Amino acid sequence: MLVQRFKEKSVIVTGGGSGIGRATAVAFAREGANVLVADIVRDRAEETAQIIRQASGSAEAHQVDVSERAQIDGMFDRAIALFGQLDVYFGNAAVIDMGTPCEDMSDELWHRNISVNLSGCFYGARAALPHLARTKGNIVMTSSVASLGGLAGGVAYTASKYGVTGLVNQLACEVAARGIRVNAIAPGGVLTNIFEVMDFAGVDEQVKAVTPLGRFAAPEEIAEPVLFLASDAASFITGTLLRVDGGWRSK
């Protein structure tokens, strides 16, 4: 029998148009959730929502740039208008800096990584809190193995992901008394479209070499741990960074 841990719950997934976000949105919907699939690329978000609806799930697509506070606020307004409540916020959208060396890092690339990856998570968390206080809901954010050491990104991506992990630690302590849990997931190498902006051959070799399991994860292998963190099975887990990295940071 299919487990329905999120029946009658409402979830926002950012970066839901691709990769980890899409796999997680599909998994939440399969377990009964109403999902707002939010992405900067409207067509990709719509595609994910259609995949969910074709499987008899409940989803709507929403276009958002998570680095724009006003757009984040609009996304929450839409979710509440559609579903009436919010139970889980999955802050997952991010960009990469292609491992650009520090001296070659443009101001623009630096600021884009910080504003999407870190400020986006902050704007989302801040807007989510009043809704989650009502439902005793929770937040999961996608950090990275890049928040646990060097050589998993350039300085901008790495600094942004250290920031996400710090945000999760601080916020978890701040809001625990209101019954809200806040956790992060730290994927290692995951086969997604995120690498389409860089030469994949080098990444492929590097990731396989540093990963004891010797391969990339499928997005679905990240989605399942996200659902665990968001579920009641994780009711005593808050402020945790869960590594799902094939052993990368055990080395």
Q: By the criterion CB under 6 A, which residues form the site for ligand NAD? A: 14-15, 17-21, 39-41, 44, 64-67, 92-95, 116, 142, 144, 187, 189-190, 192-194
Helix/strand/coil for 183 = strand
**Nearer to ligand NAD (CB atom), residue 160 or residue 232:** 160
Catalytic residue among 89, 123, 157, 162: 157
Q: Provide, rounded to whole angstroms, the least separation between the CB of residue 172 and ligand NAD.
A: 18
Sign, CA torsion 13/18/23/27: positive
As a whole number of angstroms, the distance between CA 22 and CA 2 comes to 20
> Which residues touch 236 (CB under 8 Å, ≥6 apart)?
none
**Nearer to ligand NAD (CB atom), residue 83 or residue 90:** 90
Annotated catalytic residue 157: yes
**Nearer to ligand NAD (CB atom), residue 40 or residue 167:** 40
Q: Provide, rounded to whole angstroms, the least separation between the CB of residue 53 and ligand NAD.
A: 18
**Nearer to ligand NAD (CB atom), residue 135 or residue 191:** 191
Helix/strand/coil for 160 = helix
Q: Provide, rounded to whole angstroms, the least separation between the CB of residue 225 and ligand NAD.
A: 12
Sign, CA torsion 209/215/220/221: negative
Q: Provide, rounded to whole angstroms, the least separation between the CB of residue 197 and ligand NAD.
A: 9
> Which residues touch 204 (CB under 8 Å, ≥6 apart)?
216
Which residues does the annotation mark as catalytic? 157
